[in-house]
Amino acid sequence: MNRTPLSTAVPDCNPSLSVFSQRIFNLPLPLFAIALLVMAAAIATDTLPSGMIGALLVMMLLGELLGFAGDRLPIIKTYLGGGAILALFGAAAMVYFGWLPKAVADDVASFMKGGGFLDFYIAALITGSILGMDAKVLVKVGSRYALPLLCSVLFAALFAMAVGALLGFSPQDAVVVIAMPIMGGGMGAGAVPMSQIYEQLLGQPASYYISILVPALALGNVFAIIIAGLLNGLGNRYPSLTGNGQMMPGVDVSDKEGPITLPALGIGLVAALSFFIAGQILGKFVPLHPYALMIVLVALLKISNLVPESINDAASQWFRFVARNWTFALLFGIGVAFTDLGQVIDAISLTYVLIVFAVVAGAAFGAGLVGKLVGFYPIESAITAGLCMANMGGTGDVAVLSAARRMSLMPFAQISSRLGGALILLISSVVVPLFFT
């Protein structure tokens, strides 16, 4: 089943058509330009409202503009993830070079972090994508997922050690300093607690280890997004390798594509927020990330057929609405708030870059190979169990799945980022003493 990308950008237009007939965010180009001028005037006159109104307008307009361009630039569109990668790294570049006023960048970052927009978005995707699945499909796919996940970690470490040895880099450092933070599930669930583990085991302050771990994490996230775009291109060229957003042959995990209704959107919003809050409550008593607990809770209720079909349908509709209207906005916000282009640039040396690439490629290769053996499509397995282990957690999941044009895989991406991240923390507490004490 071919899936339509959850993007608001329109497919390539006939070059013979006038530029004024093109649309961005489903708006005619002149109307979109007027909205941009209003935003620019507000920024120039320091009248852009702070908080949600100003931040969301900036994120939507600039995110959609960059996404529109990225989906039409030949090399970026075909091989590097298109609008997703340009929206994210274009935003990071605007902050790095000072093209986005600091007050605006700070407001966007505050909205993304303190305002909880990322949590809001991911709550909709987790709830809607799981409740929109068939319960039997969820059991069939989920029971096979652990092995590709474990093998992605194994192959990432093996590739890192092999490339490190060829380049004169310590195999221990290649695993502990580069591979493990990359596979650790992002900053909050990975690098930060990992630095505390390293502090306890190795003696230096946690801040010292953070400065070492973060460049690997950031650069690994870049490669995960790029490889996701390349895998999408590979799947287009060799259709037998991919399910176009489905994990297994004959198993459809797509959301329902019925008409969207206004009452259902309200119900879906309440369902998503309620499940998110339930995950936070469970996190007080269970030592797992609230995202992971939310996934488990939603999946258990779905498998048990305890959620009314009307709620399932409403959650699926809300998921589709959020993904189609705010994906580029979210990616722009991720670029501003979570992507430090300076750290990526500072980390660039040939040896370091090659080892980081080896880690991400190894994760994708191991997950894809073993996923094929357990019955998954290799590209979908490589993206979810591989690349979504090697990215920056929730922010990276959105970027990777957008670049791969497979947003329906969000539940599996979140399993990789959250449960997989917990697995890496456990491994690090065992492996570090073996290598360094």
> Do residues 155 and 105 share a domain?
no
What is the pLDDT confidence band of residue 435, given thresholds at 50, 70 and 90? Answer: low
Q: Which of 177, 143, 140, 136 is nearest to 160 (CA)?
A: 177
Please give the pLDDT value at position 191: 62
- To the nearest 10 degrees (0 to 180), the angle between helices 117-131 and 309-337 is 150
Instruction: Examine the fold and report which residue of 86, 112, 138 is the final residue of a domain before the chain moves on.
Output: 112
> Do residues 44 and 137 share a domain?
no
Q: 148 in helix, strand or coil?
A: helix
Pick 58 or 122 by higher pLDDT.
58
What is the pLDDT confidence band of residue 424, given thresholds at 50, 70 and 90? Answer: confident
Instruction: Examine the fold and report which residue of 112, 140, 171 is the final residue of a domain before the chain moves on.
Output: 112
Q: 112 in helix, strand or coil?
A: helix
Please give the pLDDT value at position 10: 41
> Are 219 and 347 within 8 A, CB to CB?
yes
Please give the pLDDT value at position 289: 67
The residue behind tokens 């990668």 is 85
Looking at the chain, the whole-number percentage of residues with pLDDT higher than 70 is 82
Residue 100 contacts by C-beta under 8 Å, 6 or more apart in sequence? 91, 94, 336
Residue 18 contacts by C-beta under 8 Å, 6 or more apart in sequence? none
As for how many domains the chain has, the answer is: 2
Pick 378 or 330 by higher pLDDT.
378
Identify the weakest region by mean pLDDT among 78-82, 178-182, 224-228, 332-336.
78-82
> Do residues 46 and 133 share a domain?
no
Above 90 in pLDDT, residue 360? yes
* Span 39-58, average pLDDT: 95
> Do residues 394 and 253 share a domain?
yes
* Burial (CB count <10 Å: 0-12, 13-18, 19+), residue 368: buried
> Do residues 369 and 231 share a domain?
yes
**For the CA atoms of the chain, what is the radius of gyration?**
21
Report how far residue 72's alpha carbon sits from residue 64's, in angstroms, rounded to the nearest whole number.
12
> Do residues 243 and 273 share a domain?
yes
Above 90 in pLDDT, residue 178? no
Its pTM stands at 0.70
> Do residues 82 and 188 share a domain?
no
Three-state secondary structure of 8-71: CCCCCCCCCCCHHHCEECCEEHHHHHHHHHHHHHHHHCCCCCCCHHHHHHHHHHHHHHHHHHHC
* Burial (CB count <10 Å: 0-12, 13-18, 19+), residue 371: buried
In the chain, the largest separation of any two C-alpha atoms, in whole Å, equals: 67
Identify the weakest region by mean pLDDT among 155-159, 289-293, 353-357, 433-437.
433-437
Residue 2 forms part of a structural domain: no
Please give the pLDDT value at position 14: 52
> Are 178 and 359 within 8 A, CB to CB?
yes
Residue 22 forms part of a structural domain: no
Residue 7 forms part of a structural domain: no
> Do residues 191 and 273 share a domain?
yes
Q: Which of 373, 413, 408 is nearest to 390 (CA)?
A: 413
> Do residues 150 and 231 share a domain?
yes
Range of the domain at 47: 27-112
* Span 336-343, average pLDDT: 80
Residue 333 forms part of a structural domain: no
Please give the pLDDT value at position 2: 40
Above 80 in pLDDT, residue 369? yes
* Span 4-10, average pLDDT: 41
What is the pLDDT confidence band of residue 15, given thresholds at 50, 70 and 90? Answer: very low
Mean pLDDT of the chain: 83
Please give the pLDDT value at position 16: 42
Please give the pLDDT value at position 134: 76
* Span 8-33, average pLDDT: 69
- Tens-digit pLDDT profile for residues 52-111: 999 999 999 999 999 999 888 887 775 566 787 788 889 989 999 999 999 999 999 999
